[in-house]
Structure 1
Amino acid sequence: MKVFTVRRILAVSAAACLLLTGCGSDSSSSTNLDDITVNGGDNPKVKVGKDFSTKSTEKRVVTEGDGDPVAGGDSVKVNYVAVNGRTGKQFDNSFTSKSPLTVTLDEKSALPGFVKALSGQVVGSRVLVAIPPKDGFGEANDQLGIKATDTMVFLFDIVAKVPSEASGEAKNLPKDVPDIVEKDGQPASFKATKDTPDKVSKASAHVAIEGDGPAVEKGQSLSVQYLGQVYPDGEIFDSSWERGAPANLGLDQVIKCWQDLIPGQKIGSRVVLVCPADTAYGDKPQPGSPIKPGDTLMFAIDLLDAS
């Protein structure tokens, strides 16, 4: 279920990085954020001189918001402009692509510089950030044109804080759909009921908690928590809850069952999907997974946000 796009690369930290949740800067920086100019509102322009660099993550609040505070561990939706400090050239811009990024501010999900810069801010703020290599990728990133020694400059608009779980009206699942077994208030597995058939031939969606947000649209990017298990109560093959952070997934890059059945569901909902093999991985499951050719799959999905 992993999605690798330019936006996702920005959100995911290298496994070898050690993230610190402290914020701020030190006196070792070789340049000053005041040298960077920011112009514009809905489509801001960021002007960075060539060979801009810093030895520690620097941040400057351009505009102070008045929304909820953001803390380490929170998931936030941001718009951003990204500039390579060495070249002064922009390498990504969610304002123009209209594709906000949802990032979880912890060591499992975000670049260290993102955690340091955004923790402690408030929703609605515009924040200018300079991130040195040690708080960025820690190495060259050819896809983005970043060298191992490059400082990255970001202008972030903190759009919203993303909920951590589904909320709304609880609904009863059909008697033939396996029950959700919870642990610490979170879906941990499915258990077949006495009415659950051994096999199903048609994909289906069932609402366990009905949220009150807007309906998901085809092709959107989602922030979700989810559990994946072989139907009806077989081996668990994936769980974002177990990993401790929501997943960011593009609907045009996941299995057909999700593409067909998630659009139309409301943000804030918990949805159960039953996905026969022809809507999942068919006879070619992902290498190394416990999914066997022809397996039907089940998912419990908390729809946290869409953009």
Structure 2
Amino acid sequence: MRLRPLALLSTLAVSAMLLAGCAGSSSPNPSSSSTPGASGDVCSQAVKPGAVSDSVKITGDFGTPSTATFELKQKVKDLQRTVVSKGDGATIKKGDYVTYAISAFDTETGKRIGDLGYKADEILPQNVLANQTLAQVIGCVPLGTRIAAAFPAQQGGTGSQVYIIDVLKTSPTAAWGKDQAPVDGMPTVKLASDGEPSITIPKTDAPADLKISVLKEGDGGAVADGDTTLLQYYGVTWADGKSFDSSWKNGEPITVPGNAYVPGFVKALAGQKVGSQVLVVIPPSEGYGDKAQGSIPANSTLVFVIDILATQHVAAG
């Protein structure tokens, strides 16, 4: 039996197909667990306590892997949650990206299945309203809350499980790093009050090589090869300076598993710290080459502003 995450990568990536892959490579679909039922008020979706979740006794401190004891072999017909201890942080609301940690136990044997999220970079922040199960379990509680939840068995999959869930913090949806000096010859970037960028292209020929400039340097962990990041992006072509795609316009940050973007985009992320904002100019050889992509003409030089909000290392996937 394996650990069952509360949610898959639940960011809405409306046009990540445009960013993913290049000529001759695959174009993976972004992970999305949005459901029609996961909309509206967070509190209206929270499930009620049940006999199993109410019976869980926890040993251990909040924010650390803890032990749960409960009567074995109880039937779990429906999802249950009990607030064990209420935090004193802000209450989770619509649009919040939340980081949580879990310890899971088999209801038949009481044995620990595993722990996840207590170490940095193990779980990406999740949009609570983008996943119904997530909204049902951790919706409408303050940060710092500890929850006991009981999950029914999955048909053809895992048996019923008990989770200890620690609701840790929320993540910003724009880069928060320290401003860095601009680089001569690069496009200029202005930010709206919510962090959404706009780009002005210089009146010069596009550079022939990949150019990367850090606009804000974050204080988080570095993006490693094969990571999956949570990010915002704003993209224009050098030729006309018009935006062809933007997570800001699409309404949510995005993730693509394994950061399977065009090569220049991946290189712009490599080694950058979480919280950073990066400006990258991508020549055709590092982008889509001589193939048109939607509204992007063939042989286009691309310009992106990327906000790196979180990263999930390969070992945790």
CA contact (8 A) 2:175 2:275 kept: yes
Residue 93 of structure 2 is aligned to residue 71 of structure 1: yes
1:295 CA drift (Å): 2.2
For the structure 1 residues 141 and 305, does the alpha-carbon distance in structure 2 shift closer, same or farther, using more than 3 Å as the test?
A: farther
Gaps of 5+ in 2: 11-31, 313-317
RMSD over aligned Cα, in angstroms? Answer: 4.1
Give 2:306's match in structure 1, choosing from 288, 291, 301.
301
- State the distance in 2 between where 1:8 and 1:256 align: 28
Normalised TM-score (structure 1): 0.69
Q: Give me the whole-angstrom Cα distance separating, in 2, the residues matched to 1:84 and 1:231.
A: 55
TM-score (norm 2): 0.67
Change (3 A) 1:101 1:226: same
Give the secondary structure class of the aligned counterpart of 1:101: coil
Residue aligning to 1:3 = none
Q: In the alignment, does 2:177 pair up with 1:165?
A: no
2:127 maps to what in 1?
104
Aligned to 1:191: 200
In structure 1, what residue type is equivalent to 2:94? G
Asked if structure 2 preserves the Cα contact closer than 8 Å seen for 1:191 and 1:232, the reply is no
Displacement of 1:204: 1.6
**In the TM superposition, what is the alpha-carbon distance from 1:79 to its structure 2 partner?**
2.8
- Tell me, yes or no, if the aligned pair for 1:208 and 1:271 is still in contact at 8 Å: yes
Q: Structure 1: how far apart are the matches of 2:183 and 2:269? A: 18
Deviations 1:10-54, CA, capped at 9 Å, x for gaps: 523345335232154459x7x642356767775557788475222
Distance 1:239 1:164, change over 3 A: same
Verify: 1:244 aligned to 2:251, yes or no. Answer: yes
Q: Distance in 2 between the 1:239 and 1:228 partners?
A: 6
Q: Which amino acid aligns with 1:78?
A: Y
Partner of 2:273: 266
Residue 103 of structure 1 deviates from its aligned partner by 0.5
SS at match of 1:241: helix
Residue 135 of structure 2 aligns with which residue? 115
CA distance in 1, matches of 2:236, 2:221: 27
Residue 137 of structure 1: aligned partner: none
Gaps of 5+ in 1: 1-5, 133-139
The 3-state SS of whatever aligns with 1:257 is helix
- Structure 1 residues 244 and 283: CA distance shift in structure 2, 3 A: same
For the residue of structure 2 that corresponds to 1:274, the secondary structure is strand
Hey, what does 2:33 align to over in structure 1? 13
Structure number with the bigger relative contact order (C-alpha 8 A, sep ≥ 6) is 2
Give the conservation status (yes or no) of the 8 Å contact 2:106–2:112: yes
Aligned residues: 280
Asked if structure 1 preserves the Cα contact closer than 8 Å seen for 2:221 and 2:274, the reply is yes
1:178 and 2:183 matched: no
